[in-house]
């Protein structure tokens, strides 16, 4: 298709590869030279009067045509993955200023299907740049042109790596977030990166503690289908239309081919047309080029009552007689089969083959548990879950992620208001629909790392915080996470002291400008149930952020999202009817100054 554009009365064709609302600087089409006297338009001027705050933002709109759909007239997920990868790559290359390749795509949960004639709107922008990799956030929605209805489809996070000549890595410039939303995403991107790196260890740890015997589910009236009957193997020859602008196989094309064979495998189990519900992390292990043969393999690993997991991988080789194959990509996809009312149907059972089949069967069960943990702990809104989340070893990664991310989100909020100031101590408040949050901050003559070490150990907090009676270390989860049982001096309405079971999560700065973080939230432990002698209290989100101001000075800030039981105490201090907050923070400063030299001696002894 061509866009016919009038330039001084002449019709000039301009090839359009895709339509991006703010103009694709990453497009392969060369920029048009301006005519003498013609004013330069700011990027994004065609889309809106003001350019986006984030210069890496790319907006893509695609009209869903019959050639993009499956047999039901719905947009093929493979086609959507191509568009997502294209938009994300263009955003990454805007920031890097050089070619970028897809390293991974995080979990994607599809909320709705998209029909012919509707418009897919994709917005992608770089959330954070690390050394040579960057996280790109992608939001996908659809628009019904007839009704004007807009609806969210999915949200995804992709990791891209910048490449220089001959595939060498390129050091990326840092990205400075501008808006509140960008600051939140920038801050939490470090936590998501950490979670990606430990994902394999989480799965391995869960399998180690699970029974090794494969227990097949019994389902009334259902005969187990041998998993081998669902196996699919297909080969694709990589041609020039399948390549990106660097000559490598387009990542979106590989993902689309993988989705195709996974759908076939799922169909062989249920003898129906399945719907893709979720994808668990595409991980690109290496490139492939034009002329390569890609072998795509898929098999149903496990079928639960209403969903099934399909494992799919892609391998590449150069010539037909080649023996060695390169593992290019792998992913796990969750499918459901919907009835006429849109409800999931009961699926047949799967009988795994011995050996690798049983291993895949067990791993699928473990991944399902991890997905549920992620959905419950990470994805859900805070108002939809209890304050204290059950703790167990298998969901520790996601509870730690949620703990730190909640605090970082609170820190990045834009509408903090200075409520009180007393000497060096400043108190700010943040009023939201359902929460009143506060932060107290001051500058202290202590190195940020030393303040971090002292404040992250709750066993010393009673030395400066009069509300703490004691804190017992219950479980040293790892180097970054500790669980404490805290007893408070504060009496409840029942005239009993309060106690808490608190997860403390520590994070050192990921890069220059990041604070040291100590985040607190309530968890429940079977070993420490609520007792008659105490009123069990809960904390939703609280903790310290410590920013270095110089080698020997740091800004220490304490944040708390007040729960109902704590609200009266907060409002009393905000209104100036009490100075307990200021007095407590002044005591904290004295504690830090008193103990900083002792800490140096202890570290030297180690």
Q: Which range has the top average pLDDT, 79-88, 191-200, 564-573?
A: 79-88
207 found inside a domain: no
Residue 422 maps to a domain: yes
DSSP state of 227: G
| Start-to-end C-alpha separation, the chain | 70
Could you tell me whether strands 100-105 and 275-284 are parallel, antiparallel, or unpaired per DSSP bridges? antiparallel
User: What's the average model confidence in pLDDT over 7-13?
Assistant: 38
State what percent of residues in the chain have pLDDT above 70: 81
Rounded CA gap, 131 and 148, in Å?
A: 42
Q: What is the pLDDT of residue 8?
A: 38
pLDDT of residue 559: 94
Domain endpoint, select from 153, 183, 213 = 183
Q: DSSP states of 436-457 as a string?
A: EEEEEEEEESS-HHHHHHHHT-
What is residue 512's predicted lDDT score, i.e. its pLDDT? 86
Residue 239 counted as domain residue: yes
List phi, psi (to 5°) of 79. Answer: -65, -40
- The single-letter DSSP state of residue 583 is H
Helix (H, G, I), strand (E, B) or coil at 261: helix
Task: Give residue 234's pLDDT.
Answer: 96
407/420 same-domain check: yes
Phi and psi torsions of 265, nearest 5°: -60, -45
**What confidence score (pLDDT) does residue 368 get?**
84
Give the mean pLDDT of 268-287: 90
Query: Same domain for 375 and 444?
Result: no
Rounded to the nearest angstrom, the gap between the alpha carbon of residue 412 and the centroid of all alpha carbons in its chain is 17
Residues 372 and 300 in one domain: yes
Query: Where is the domain boundary, 126, 159, 183?
Result: 183
Closest to 282 measured CA to CA, from 452, 416, 108: 108
Among 369-383, 416-430, 434-448, whose mean pLDDT is lowest?
369-383
Say if CB 58 and CB 125 are below 8 A apart.
yes
**With 50 as the cut, is the pLDDT of residue 314 above it?**
yes
- Report the CATH number that the domain containing residue 263 is assigned in CATH: 3.10.129.10
CA distance 418 to 278: 44
Asked whether residue 231 carries a pLDDT value surpassing 60, the answer given is yes
The pLDDT of residue 388: 67
Band (494; pLDDT cuts 50, 70, 90): confident
310 and 353, same domain (yes or no): yes
Evaluate whether residue 188 is within a structural domain.
Answer: no
Please tell me whether residues 452 and 579 are part of one structural domain: yes
Establish how many alpha carbons lie within 13 A of residue 255's alpha carbon, considering only the half-sphere containing its beta carbon: 29
Is the pLDDT at 587 greater than 70? The verdict is yes
- What's the rounded Cα separation, in Å, for the pair 310 and 335? 8
Same domain, 375 and 412: no
> Which pLDDT band holds residue 221 (cuts at 50, 70, 90)?
low
Banded pLDDT at 324 (limits 50, 70, 90): confident
Dmax of the chain from CA atoms?
88
Q: Pick the more confident residue, 207 or 582.
A: 582
Tokens encoding 594? 């008193």
Lowest mean pLDDT among 61-65, 311-315, 434-438: 434-438
- My answer on whether 130 and 242 are in the same domain is no
Tell me, yes or no, whether 367 and 396 share the same domain. no
- What's the pLDDT score for residue 570? 56
Same domain, 317 and 259: yes
State how far the Cα of 157 lies from the Cα of 405, in Å rounded to an integer.
16
Is 10 within the bounds of a domain? no
Minimum mean pLDDT range among 18-27, 315-324, 580-589: 18-27
Q: Are 280 and 226 a contacting pair, CB within 8 Å?
A: no
**pLDDT value for 215:** 55
pLDDT at residue 78 is higher than 60: yes
pLDDT tens-digit profile of 464-492? 998 889 999 999 998 999 999 999 887 77
How many domains, in total, are found in the chain? 3
What one-character-per-residue DSSP string does 48-108 give? -SS--SSTT-EEEEEE--GGGB-TTSBB-HHHHHHHHHHHHHHHHHHHHSS-EEEEEE--E
For the residues of 491-556, what is the DSSP string, one character each?
Answer: E-TTS-EEEEEEEEEEE--SSTTPPEEEEEEEEE-TTS---TTSEEP--SEEEEEEEESSSS-EEE
Determine the pLDDT at residue 380: 43
Question: Is the confidence at residue 377, as pLDDT, over 60?
Answer: no
The Cβ of residue 346 has, within 10 Å, a number of other Cβ atoms equal to 16
Banded pLDDT at 35 (limits 50, 70, 90): very low
Does the pLDDT at position 48 exceed 80? no
- One domain for residues 263 and 289: yes
| Residue for token pair 């005239």 | 495
Mean pLDDT (whole number) for 355-364: 90
Given a cut of 80, whether residue 596 has pLDDT beyond it is no
Number of continuous H segments (helices) and E segments (strands) in the chain: 9, 26
Give the integer Cα–Cα distance in Å for 71 and 68.
10
DSSP 380-419: S-GGGS-SSEEP-GGGHHHHHHHHHHHHHHHHH-S--EEE
- Same domain? 277 vs 163: no
- Count CA atoms closer than 13 A to 551's CA, side-chain side: 0
Average pLDDT over residues 201-212: 70
* pLDDT in the model for residue 16: 33
DSSP lists the bridge partners of residue 443 as 555
- Tens-place pLDDT, residues 327-347: 999 999 999 998 888 888 999
In a domain, 345, yes or no: yes
Per-residue pLDDT tens digits for 88-119: 999 999 999 999 999 999 889 998 899 999 99
- Name the residue among 139, 149, 160 with its Cα closest to residue 94: 160
CA-angle at 485, arms to 483 and 487, nearest 5°: 150
The pLDDT of 227-242, averaged and rounded, is: 95
Residue 212 domain-assigned (yes or no): no
pLDDT tens digits for range 112-150:
899 999 999 999 999 999 988 999 999 999 999 999 999
Boundaries of domain holding 158 = 55-183
- For β-strands 2-7 and 10-15, DSSP reports them as antiparallel
Q: Is the pLDDT of residue 81 over 90?
A: yes
Residue 554 pLDDT greater than 50, yes or no: yes
The three state secondary structure string of 262-330 is: HHHHHHHHHCCCCEEEEEEEEEECCCCECCCEEEEEEEEEEECCCCEEEEEEEEEECCCCCCCCEEEEE
Burial of 15 (0-12, 13-18, 19+ CB in 10 A): exposed
Look at 508 and 321; give whichever has higher pLDDT.
508
- Give yes or no for a contact between 169 and 162, defined as CB atoms under 8 angstroms apart: yes
pLDDT number for residue 232: 97
Among 331, 361, 382, the domain-final residue is 382
Closest CA to 327 of 346, 310, 311: 311
The CATH number that applies at residue 566 is: 3.30.530.20
pLDDT at 44: 38
Q: What is the mean pLDDT of the chain?
A: 82
> Is residue 211 one of the residues assigned to a domain?
no
Name the pLDDT band for 166 (thresholds 50, 70, 90).
confident
Indicate if 270 and 145 belong to the same structural domain. Answer: no
Write down the pLDDT at residue 127: 95
């Amino acid at each position: 298709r061509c866009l016919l554009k009038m330039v001084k009365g002449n019709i000039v064709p301009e090839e359009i590869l895709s339509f991006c609302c703010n103009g694709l600087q990453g497009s392969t089409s060369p920029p048009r030279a301006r005519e003498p006297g013609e004013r330069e338009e700011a990027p994004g001027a065609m889309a809106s009067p003001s350019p986006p705050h984030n210069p890496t933002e790319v907006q893509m709109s695609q009209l869903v045509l019959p050639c993009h759909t499956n047999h039901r007239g719905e947009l093929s997920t493979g086609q959507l993955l191509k568009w997502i990868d294209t938009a994300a790559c263009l955003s990454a290359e805007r920031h890097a200023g050089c070619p970028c390749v897809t390293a991974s795509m995080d979990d994607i949960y599809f909320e709705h299907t998209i029909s012919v004639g509707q418009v897919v709107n994709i917005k992608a922008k770089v959330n954070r740049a690390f050394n040579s990799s960057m996280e790109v956030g992608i939001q996908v929605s659809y628009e019904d042109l007839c009704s004007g209805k807009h609806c969210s489809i999915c949200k995804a996070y992709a990791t891209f790596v910048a490449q220089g000549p001959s595939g060498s890595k390129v050091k990326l410039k840092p990205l400075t977030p501008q808006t509140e939303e960008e600051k939140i995403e920038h801050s939490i991107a470090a936590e998501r990166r950490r979670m990606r790196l430990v994902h394999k260890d989480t799965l391995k740890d869960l399998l180690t503690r699970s029974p090794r015997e494969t227990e097949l589910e019994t389902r009334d009236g259902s005969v187990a289908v041998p998993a081998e009957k669902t196996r699919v193997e297909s080969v694709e020859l990589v041609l020039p239309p399948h390549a990106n602008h660097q000559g490598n196989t387009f990542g979106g094309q590989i993902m689309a081919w993988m989705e195709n064979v996974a759908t076939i495998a799922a169909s062989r189990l249920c003898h129906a047309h399945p719907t893709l519900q979720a994808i668990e992390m595409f991980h690109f292990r290496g490139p492939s080029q034009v002329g390569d043969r890609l072998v795509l393999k898929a098999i149903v690993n496990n079928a639960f009552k209403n969903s099934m997991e399909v494992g799919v991988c892609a391998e590449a080789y150069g010539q037909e007689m080649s023996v060695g194959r390169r593992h290019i990509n792998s992913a796990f996809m969750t499918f459901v089969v919907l009835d006429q009312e849109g409800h999931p149907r009961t699926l047949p059972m799967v009988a795994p083959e011995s050996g690798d089949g049983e291993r895949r069967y067990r791993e699928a069960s473990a991944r399902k548990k991890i997905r549920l943990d992620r959905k419950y702990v990470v994805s859900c809104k805070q108002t939809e879950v209890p304050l204290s989340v059950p703790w167990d070893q298998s969901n520790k990664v996601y509870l730690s992620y949620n703990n730190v991310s909640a605090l970082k989100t609170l820190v990045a909020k834009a509408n903090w208001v200075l409520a009180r100031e007393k000497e060096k101590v400043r108190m700010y408040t943040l009023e939201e629909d359902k929460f009143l949050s506060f932060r107290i901050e001051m500058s202290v003559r202590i190195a940020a790392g030393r303040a971090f070490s002292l404040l992250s150990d709750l066993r010393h907090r009673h030395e400066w915080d009069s509300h703490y009676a004691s804190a017992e270390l219950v479980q040293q989860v790892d180097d970054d996470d500790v669980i404490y049982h805290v007893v408070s001096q504060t009496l409840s309405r029942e005239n009993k002291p309060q106690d808490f079971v608190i997860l403390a999560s520590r994070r050192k700065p990921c890069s220059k400008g990041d604070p040291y973080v100590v985040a607190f939230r309530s968890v429940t432990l079977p070993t420490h149930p609520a007792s008659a002698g105490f009123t069990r209290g809960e904390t939703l989100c609280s903790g310290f952020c410590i920013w270095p101001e110089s080698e020997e000075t740091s800004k220490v800030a304490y944040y708390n999202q007040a729960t109902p039981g704590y609200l009266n105490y907060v409002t009393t201090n905000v209104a100036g009817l009490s100075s307990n907050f200021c007095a407590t923070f002044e005591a904290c400063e004295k504690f830090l100054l008193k103990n900083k030299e002792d800490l140096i001696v202890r570290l030297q002894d180690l």
